[in-house]
């Protein structure tokens, strides 16, 4: 069932083939937006998301692009605008994680995290700054881990900290065009990013970290994104929203 809230809007969601990005793509389509479903390797999963949206009466297109490559990002925006005519909403959701002590992290691992998480978000923001319609919405993705300072995540929080910083600066640069720029920082959310072989004990430990006593779901995070990109989100910009069920 499609509602009218985002009717006439065009949204691009990076990393929308699975996990949080998939839930965001489905939610924005349900709210009426035409959605570009970006992926890097998961073509079949991305096409399944598109099929789900179309089955519900919405418009969607899957576009392969590796966000760590600026040329791919440019092509992703070109295709979006050629196909749907404009861009109103950018969700920089694509991301990867590394669980390793700093002492063992290689240059290649560090560069990969920085390239996908920080550089990908930065240059997608640059394309949006050049090409997004006035009154648009940009939502970047950091993580609650940037405030928890847990061991083993040094490269990940280094890349995510950069995203928080660019969010604040870009909010000021795009304010004149009435484009809002915010960051969402999920807590532990039940996706493949946390690992496929999690034990029941690990899940209980994650659940106990939040005031609401459970792991987040991708839909919990999509609800927050839907609020930020709606008309009612017009006065929220330059913020980092910790969507984590109360991991304080
Ligand atoms: P998943 O691992 O479930 O999904 C990652 C998505 O990113 C996939 O769609 C994948 O595409 C895509 N992707 C990966 N690399 C690239 C790339 N180079 N170019 C384009 N797309 C790419 O992750 P989550 O859904 O859990 O995470 C989404 C965001 O939320 C990330 O930024 C993550 O850091 C953040 N986050 C997640 C938390 C969690 O607990 N899950 C907690 C805090 C933050 P493909 O299928 O094609 O590989």
6-39 pLDDT per residue, tens: 999 999 999 999 999 999 999 999 999 999 999 9
The span from the CA of 164 to the CA of 146, in Å, is: 9
User: The whole model's pTM is what?
Assistant: 0.98
| Atom nearest to 39 CA in ligand 1 | 47
Give tens-digit pLDDT for 140-155.
999 999 999 899 999 9
Q: How far is the CA of 96 from the centre of ligand 1 (A)?
A: 6
pLDDT at 198: 87
Alpha helices (H) along the chain: 19-30, 43-55, 70-84, 107-113, 120-131, 145-148, 154-174, 200-208, 218-229
CB 66 near ligand 1, within 6 Å: yes
> How much helix, strand and coil, in percent to the nearest 5, is found in the chain?
50, 15, 35
CB 15 near ligand 1, within 6 Å: yes
Question: Which of the four pLDDT bands, split at 50, 70 and 90, describes residue 99?
Answer: very high
| Atom nearest to 221 CA in ligand 1 | 30
CB 246 near ligand 1, within 6 Å: no
Handedness of CA 206, 210, 215, 220 (dihedral sign): negative
Q: How far is the CA of 135 from the centre of ligand 1 (A)?
A: 27
| Atom nearest to 116 CA in ligand 1 | 18
Question: Which of the four pLDDT bands, split at 50, 70 and 90, describes residue 4?
Answer: low
State yes or no: is 156 an active-site residue: yes
Question: Which of the four pLDDT bands, split at 50, 70 and 90, describes residue 195?
Answer: confident
Residue 27: partners with Cβ closer than 8 Å, 6 or more residues away: 219, 222, 223, 225, 226
Residue 21: partners with Cβ closer than 8 Å, 6 or more residues away: 13, 14, 15, 38, 91, 93, 94
Q: How far is the CA of 116 from the centre of ligand 1 (A)?
A: 10
Number of Cβ atoms within 10 Å of the Cβ of 101: 11
Check pLDDT > 90 for residue 3.
no
């Amino acid at each position: 069932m499609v509602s009218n809230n985002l009717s006439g809007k065009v949204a691009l969601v990076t990393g929308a083939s699975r996990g949080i990005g998939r839930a965001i793509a489905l939610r924005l389509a349900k709210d009426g937006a035409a959605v570009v479903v970006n992926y890097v390797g998961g073509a079949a999963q991305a096409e399944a998301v598109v099929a789900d949206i179309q089955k519900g009466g919405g418009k969607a297109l899957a576009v392969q692009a590796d966000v760590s490559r600026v040329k791919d990002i440019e092509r992703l925006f070109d295709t979006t605008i050629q196909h749907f005519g404009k861009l109103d909403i950018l969700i920089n959701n694509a991301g990867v994680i590394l669980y390793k002590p700093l002492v063992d992290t290689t240059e290649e691992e560090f560069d990969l995290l920085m390239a996908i998480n920080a550089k990908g978000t930065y240059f997608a923001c640059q394309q949006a700054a050049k090409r997004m319609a006035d009154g648009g919405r940009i939502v970047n993705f950091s993580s609650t881990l940037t405030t928890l300072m847990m061991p083993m995540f040094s490269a990940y929080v280094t890349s995510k900290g950069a995203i928080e910083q660019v969010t604040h600066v870009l909010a000021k640069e795009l304010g004149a065009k009435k484009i809002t720029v915010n960051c969402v920082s999920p807590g532990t959310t039940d996706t493949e990013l946390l690992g496929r072989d999690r034990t029941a004990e690990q899940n209980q430990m994650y659940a106990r970290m939040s005031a609401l006593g459970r792991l987040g779901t991708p839909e919990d995070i999509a609800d927050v994104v839907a609020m930020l990109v709606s008309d009612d989100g017009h006065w929220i910009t330059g913020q980092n929203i910790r969507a984590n069920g109360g991991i304080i």
